Structure 1
Amino acid sequence: MKLTNPLKTYFLCCRYVLLLTVCSTVYSQVNFTQSNLPIVIITTDINPDTGQATEIPDEPKVAASMKIIYHEDGSTNYVADQDNDAYLDYDGRIKIEIRGSTSQDLPKKQYGWTTYEDDTQTKQNVSILGMPKENDWILNGLAFDPSLMRDYISYNLSRQIGYYTSRTQYCEVIINGEYKGLYILQEKLKDDSNRINIEEIDEDASTGMSLTGGYITKADKTTGGDPVAWSMDSYEGWTDFIHEVPKPEDVTPQQDNYIHQVFTDLATTANSNNINLATGYPSIIDIPTFVDFMVMNELGSNADGYQISTFFHKDIGGKLRAGPIWDFNLTFGNDLFIYGFDRSHTDVWQFSNGDNEGPKFWTDLFNNPEFKCYFSRRWNALTAEGQPLNYNSIDAYIDEIVAQISDAAVREQQTWGTVPNWSNEIADLKSWIAQRINWITANAGSYSACENPELPSLVITGISYHPGESDDFPESDDQEFIQITNTGTTEVNLTGVYLRELGVSYQFTAGSTIAPGAMIYIVSNPEVFELKYGTEAFGQFQRNLSNSTQNLVLADGFGNIIDAVQYDDDAPWPDTADGDGYYLHLIDNALDNSIASSWEAIQEATLSNKNFTATPSFITLYPNPVYGIFTVKSAQAMQQVEIYDVFGKQLQHYTTPGNELKVDINLFPSGIYFVKVTASGNSVTKKIVKS
């Protein structure tokens, strides 16, 4: 790897080698009794061979008990509170191991741990320090970071600009009676509705829509023992990719080939500057996530960015997304100085600095005028006054962190000797950030070409997120729909338009259109939707709408927001739309649909343009109820007759049956079925009951 300043590196290396030598043993014992931060106490089980507490290994995880002392009112936490249930945020079983790669060289270790039931056999999802319930967690030891805050700043800034990033909480840790210092308790990255919100791919998925997701893939080192799935050329070297979801041992050849091809297509289209909405890189990637991933990595000048600790994810039916960001300790001017590296500078692009560049597509994307325009637009927006990445905002945020961990920083120095002049570290960090922001702003280029994109007049005007259940339609999820209206006076080409946020995925078919004033429906189950409402669905989205709250964002191919609604099942949103046989309907298309008062709850039956209980004059079904065989009789020649169950599954299909057809359903279980008859180009759906 290239050293940009060998003389500086030499002196820095000497400095940190000295510190590492000092830290080879405990610097000094700390009489630790209290903290303004949560206190984590871990006690491993007794090793029967030694009679002592079990040492925590690299792997496998070993059993332990853990207590977290936390006064919710913000008052001081005391070690003596470990037996007071009123102050225990967690008191239970875990399994724990040492984690990390290069950080394992340090005497202060980092840990990964899983929460378990009392039997230490069954994993248990729990809420830790107010974070959503899960079972996989991390104790980040702040390795190689004398500021004690680079990961913490980066993750929290990433959340502030709108992305899921590992939630964090500073804490102080005691293991087997020994004070271990300051840590960040944080979430492990994994597929979960409250973390990376993708739905894990079905293990048997091998074709069609099911093969499209969900995946989590990372560019990384292979020190964890996972095999390399594939490698991609960089402009300097190469980058290895590893499967995270599905796990390497579970991924099938079809799944490996599919997700690898997505990355190959990205590389090809980025290299050829193909911006076509149907065939270019906008059709493959969620551009806002790639832009913001670069924004965060470049803000910190992340020495590890793009080549290692770089995550990607893709949900079923969705586009490839970059992130979440991870492992940001070698940022903001910091690096592995003890190994001779000095790469995080204020005046370089990390994706193209001749070292740790990552695959070629990062540089190719940035060199594409359209992508660079969106990068510049986003950068300038986020660094504007009052925004999260504005220098004054970051400066104030750093001061908040300093106030929060200043007492613990003293103990950290007493224990490990790694922060000998913390005040200088903070001053240098602030100065570096100011220079970095100025350099990127001066070199990001103009964004005038993409400042005001022309967007179609598409409005989300109806949402059925929790339909009522009935004997006819017993599955609520199968009845969901999103109604979209073209409120403009011209036809809209829907090529490139998609639902941008995770949770529900849909991309409009290239070349599809919507007429002026027209309404279309994208639905969870087209067959059930048509059976229930007598209206043909425009398309099928993947996964299901949340029954509580969800952010629906309709965007163009470059991620520009056309319309966005975040509905909720609580007031002031109409609560009768939550499972009571109603759906959300925009009162007037001219109203702001982001506001709850613009919506009303409408009975689901009002959407239907067919009445299932009525018998059109040219169609007769008898007997009804039926015990075994019933007759379909039509005054017009029938083209086809289809039989569906209440879940929208087609059970029988008859073509050209003439004017009369006898249907045998003796083998069907008792229940409700739907008969769809097509005659003279018109379709009628009728309900029949099998006794």
Structure 2
Amino acid sequence: MLLGLCPLGLMADVPFKPATPYTLTCRYGGEGSVTLGELHGSGVLLLYQQTSQIPEDGYWVFESTGAENTWRIKNAVTGQYLQYSPQRVEGSVKGLVLSSEVVADSTSWQLQGSENRYNIVNVADPQQWLNLRTDGTWLLGTYAHQGMADNELFSFYDQAGAPVEAEGTSLPDDPSAGTMPSLLDSLYVNGKPAVYDQAGNRYLCSLPETSRGRSSLNVSLTYAFSEAASGAHLELAGQAVSGTDSVGLADFDCTQPYALKLLDAEGQLLAQTNLEFTFLPIVVLHTSPDCNGTDYTPGDFRVIDPSTTEYDPVLSTTFRYRGASAQNYQKKAFAVKLKDAEGESLDHSYFGLREDNNWILDAMAVDKVRMRNRVSTDLWNAFSTRPYYAGEEPEMNPGTRGRFVEMILNGNYHGLYCMTEKLDRKQLKLKKIKQEDGEADVIRGVLYKSDQWSYEVLMGHELDSRVFPQYAPMSYDNNSMTWSTYEMDYPDLEDGESIDWGPLYNAVNFVATSSDSEFASQYQSWFDMPVWTDYYLFLDVILATDNHGKNMFLLNYNITDEDHSRLISMAPWDLDGTWGRRWDGSNYYTSATTVFEDMLWQNEHGELTLYYRLRNNPSTSQQWAKALADRYAALRSGPFHPDSLKARFTSYANLMTESGAVSRETARWSNSDSRSDITNDVNYITGWIDQRMAALDAKYGYNPSLPEGITSAPATEELTATGGEGVIYLNATRPVSVSIYNVSGQQVRRLQVKAGTTEVGSLTPGLYLVGGQKVSVR
């Protein structure tokens, strides 16, 4: 067990005594309380005073609303209630007013935390938390919360200085006497540990996916009783459990709870709970009450994987909340770092994915269907052209991989998560930096992440402006981990490695400042166009609202490679705002027939200038349109087929539903800002996909009734092709993107060729189509 572990979500009501005044003490402000500014000659409505001599108006009475851990907070002197209001006056009022009357949910506040450390969340707008300003005004207001920062953590003390409840770190409470965990020291089902959910009074057990579809299930239970249950025996679903025999569960269904009873020697009931099953792995987390969005805090971590018979180790870890806007939701995402006994990084593989010490637990709180990011990344991994260096790094992955899991957090069920790899140098297999004593660092692979919108991220126009001023990007500093709104992901300056913003700066500067002729003649030497072409179609298919500049990783495999020293490739990230919903979960301008480019200018911040110039430059527009149409046609009968796209959602939804995860997730988050609606949103998405692909068929001139790939590869004067023995010779008058199809319309090769002759080898004898030309290979 770890010290100081407790649930971060809702717990039992804070034990306020009726009509008893308590301080409203902020952990950032230290000893003191929130007072009424006007009673102290201040223009600040609610003023924090740092003092051990708390004035009378620094005490507040907490009146229960009757809802779980939800209170009205009334000043002990004036009887006025704290009320959320959007009113904000600089230096005076920030989202709070004082009301002499109860005003529905805006005067109700929910407390989240434990051990006298609480976030105070408004019920009318759960995005708004009490927040003490750190700018020196000592003003109390509300703000879109950042996740347990000290200026959002509050404690309560009575007039004698006693805390409302025990504080500090302590061992978790022992199981209550007479409950199943107090009598059953351990429980394994088919060799895997069953995990107790205290809030639901149930055990959750993970089964392999191979168990899906069975009408009955045989399970064997291994267990150990505590001394208090000596001589007792178990019953599961009305059947006695012996040490060797399995128990048969007829009409097996993961959505059905199975009664688990503990009986004494006379058959009297000692304890009862339920055993529930899932086809998803179970992640068990214990985190510190100080877990926050900035610093890593200690805990432990276990993944129960039913697909393996191996022992599932409990590993020491550090955690923090992750994401930017994701931290504004009650259901938090976690960044996980595995540690060994000495506190050093520990690599471990899960689900056959990469072996690493860094893992992500994605809460998917904004996404009602809980899978948009995973499905989108799966699609990208499946169809996208690998970056230019993939021949040297065949094990590189163009995106993350992950598995859906169910989480038990600090002893309580916490919902459906996606456990994923990180997108980093290791995933993309970029060349490592060379560091030798006494020698200057040799930077090779570079990886940049676009974090927010800016002129530099949009590569040549300001936010919401369709003016392209062609001025150079802002200067950069190779002693800083940020440039404009990009972050340096690799190398890592904080690890003592040298960094170089130059490759990214130069590429952005080229897009922003080059003339039309320079752009047309050079863009393919600056950008890995097969990947960038795929990315454009990808954004268009999924109607991505937050990924046309921001939420991208830009990269170069090895900047010391003279042939590719300035070539920039990319990888996508954070794809929640897709498939008919925006990044905030709304869908008011994301209909299936929405024109992607129009949406970006009318509702977002405008197009990425690279794509805008390709589309509008007279010297590139025709070639760009043809490249998109060719590639769309090649993908349309496979990964872009509506049935294929819909199946990605329905297969995950079926797994979640059959596992019982949909009902558990719905129950856990139904009364929060992290509500899910998996079944209805899947229905919405599948209908949306049919309409979307019909709209894109028209946009890209695709006719589903014709053989895919053949009619979409018209002849061009830029390219001729001749066949040989196992080869095709391509003769191009200028750099061009080439797709080679077999007679069935399947794309077998796609490549960028330079002016001159290019030999494409290792082809099976037969007929091929290249640029509309039939080519025979012997």
Alignment of 1:427 with 2:680, yes or no, is: no
* Residue 391 of structure 1, CA deviation: 0.2
Verify the 8 A CA contact 1:553 1:563 in the aligned structure 2: no
Q: For residue 349 of structure 2, what is the aligned residue in structure 1?
A: 127
Selected match of 2:402 from 168, 180, 191: 168
CA offsets, 1:126-179, max 9 Å, x none?
211110222221001012111111111101111110452100100011122122
Superposed, 1:397-546 pairs within 5 Å as 397-406=648-657, 407-417=660-670, 418-419=674-675, 421-444=677-700, 451=714, 454=719
1:344 aligns with 2:623: no
For this pair of structures, how many residues does the alignment match? 442
Q: Which amino acid aligns with 1:111?
A: F
Deviation of 1:437 after TM superposition, in Å, equals 1.5
Instruction: Find out whether 1:313 has 2:571 as its counterpart.
Output: no
Q: Confirm or deny that 1:365 pairs with 2:609.
A: no
Q: 1:241 to 1:452 in 2, by over 3 A?
A: farther
Alignment of 1:68-107 (within 5 A): 68-72=303-307, 86-107=309-330
Counterpart AA for 1:197: K
Q: Distance in 1 between matches of 2:498 and 2:549?
A: 24
Does the C-alpha gap of structure 1 residues 349 and 248 become closer, same or farther in structure 2, counting only changes over 3 Å? Answer: farther
C-alpha change, 1:451 and 1:66, in structure 2 (3 Å) is: farther
**What amino acid is the match of 1:429?**
I
Q: CA deviation at 1:95?
A: 1.8
Supply the distance in 2 between the matched residues of 1:231 and 1:420 (Cα, whole angstroms). Answer: 33
Match of 1:221 in 2: 452
- Please give the alpha-carbon distance, in whole angstroms, between the structure 1 residues aligned to 2:463 and 2:684: 30
SS at match of 1:410: helix
1:263 aligns with 2:508: yes
Aligned amino acid, residue 665 of structure 2: E
**Matched residue, 2:601:** 353
Structure with the higher fraction of residues in helix conformation = 1
Cα distance in 2 between the residues matched to 1:90 and 1:356: 47
Q: Which residue number corresponds to residue 245 of structure 1?
A: 490
For 1:383 and 1:19, locate their aligned partners in 2 and report how far apart those are by CA, in whole Å: 46
- For 2:362 and 2:579, how far apart are their aligned partners in 1? 18
| Alignment match of 1:36 (pick from 273, 279, 284) | 279
Paired position in structure 1 for 2:572: 325
Deviation at 1:63, TM superposition (A): 2.3
- Give deviations 1:85-124, integer Å, cap 9, x for gaps: x454553222211001111111100011122223222x12
Please name the residue that 1:6 is paired with. Answer: none
| TM-superposed deviation, 1:360 | 1.5
For 2:696, give the aligned amino acid. I
Call closer, same or farther: CA 1:253–1:98 in 2, change over 3 Å: closer
Q: Which residue identity is paired with 1:64?
A: G
CA offsets, 1:584-611, max 9 Å, x none?
xxxxx9979xxxxxxxxxxxxxxxxxxx
CA distance in 2, matches of 1:296, 1:437: 12
2-structure distance, mates of 1:209, 1:495: 38
Go from structure 1 to structure 2 and tell me whether the alpha carbon gap of 1:487 and 1:433 turns closer, same or farther (over 3 Å shift): closer
Deviates more, 1:243-252 or 1:124-133: 243-252
Residues 210 and 286 from structure 1, CA distance in 2 versus in 1: closer, same or farther, beyond 3 angstroms? farther
Once the 2 structures are TM-superposed, how far is the Cα of residue 268 of structure 1 from its aligned partner? Answer: 4.4
1:281 paired to 2:281: no
1:248 CA displacement: 5.9
Alpha-carbon spacing, 1:265–1:23, altered in 2? closer, same or farther (3 Å): closer
**Distance change (3 Å), C-alpha of 1:175 and 1:268:** same
Task: Sort the Cα spacing of 1:113 and 1:22 in 2 relative to 1 into closer, same or farther, 3 A.
Answer: closer
| In 1, Cα distance between equivalents of 2:725 and 2:442 | 27
Partner of 1:147: helix, strand, or coil?
coil
1:112 aligns with 2:335: yes
1:436 is displaced (CA, Å) by 1.6
CA distance in 2, matches of 1:89, 1:555: 47
Contact preservation (8 Å) 1:556, 1:562: no
TM-score with structure 1 setting the length: 0.55
Shift in alpha-carbon separation, 1:190–1:124, aligned structure 2, 3 A: same
SS in 1 for 2:365: coil
Q: 1:562 and 1:435, CA in 2 relative to 1: closer, same or farther beyond 3 A?
A: farther
1: CA distance, partners of 2:557 / 2:407: 36
Counterpart in the other structure of 1:395: 646
Query: Cα–Cα, structure 1 residues 400 and 290, in superposed 2: closer, same or farther, change >3 Å?
Result: same
Change in 2 beyond 3 A, CA 1:459/1:496: farther
1:20–1:106 contact (8 Å) kept in structure 2: no
> Aligned partners of 1:126, 1:233: CA distance in 2, in Å?
42
State how far apart, in whole Å, the 1-side matches of 2:524 and 2:723 are: 20
Name the CA distance, whole Å, in 2 between partners of 1:441 and 1:208: 53
The CA deviation string for residues 400-442 of structure 1, in whole angstroms up to 9 with x for no partner, is 1111111211111100115564322111111112222222221
Q: Distance in 2 between matches of 1:590 and 1:172?
A: 47
Distance, in Å, in 2 between the alignment partners of 1:208 and 1:493 is: 42
2:447–2:490: 8 Å Cα contact kept in structure 1? yes
- 2:284·2:408 contact (CA, 8 Å) conserved in 1? yes
- The amino acid that maps onto 1:365 is L
Matched-pair contact (CA < 8 Å) for 2:531–2:569:
yes
Equivalent in the alignment of 1:198: 430
Q: In structure 2, how many angstroms separate the alpha carbons of the residues matched to 1:496 and 1:94?
A: 51
The answer to whether the Cα contact below 8 Å between 1:199 and 1:214 also exists between their aligned partners in 2 is yes
Alpha-carbon distance in 2 for matches of 1:56, 1:176: 12
CA contact (8 A) 2:554 2:568 kept: yes
Mapped to 1, the partners of 2:441 and 2:764 lie a distance apart of 36
Residue in 2 aligned with 1:57? 292
Deviations 1:342-395 (A, max 9, x none): 4434312158433233542222223322122212211222122xx112101112
Partner-residue secondary structure (3-state), 1:433:
helix
Q: What's the Cα RMSD here?
A: 4.6
Matched ranges for 1:609-628 at <5 A: none
More contact order relative to length (CA 8 Å, sep ≥ 6): 1
Q: Which amino acid aligns with 1:388?
A: P
Match of 1:153 among 342, 366, 375: 375
For the structure 1 residues 255 and 332, does the alpha-carbon distance in structure 2 shift closer, same or farther, using more than 3 Å as the test? Answer: same
Amino acid at match of 2:688: W
- Code of the aligned partner of 2:299: A
CA distance in 2, matches of 1:458, 1:93: 60
Offset, 1:249: 5.5
8 Å Cα contact 2:460-2:508 kept in structure 1: no
User: 2:628 matched to 1:375?
Assistant: yes
TM-score, structure 2 length as denominator? 0.50
Query: What is the CA-CA distance between 1:563 and the residue it aligns to?
Result: 3.4
CA distance in 1, matches of 2:556, 2:504: 9
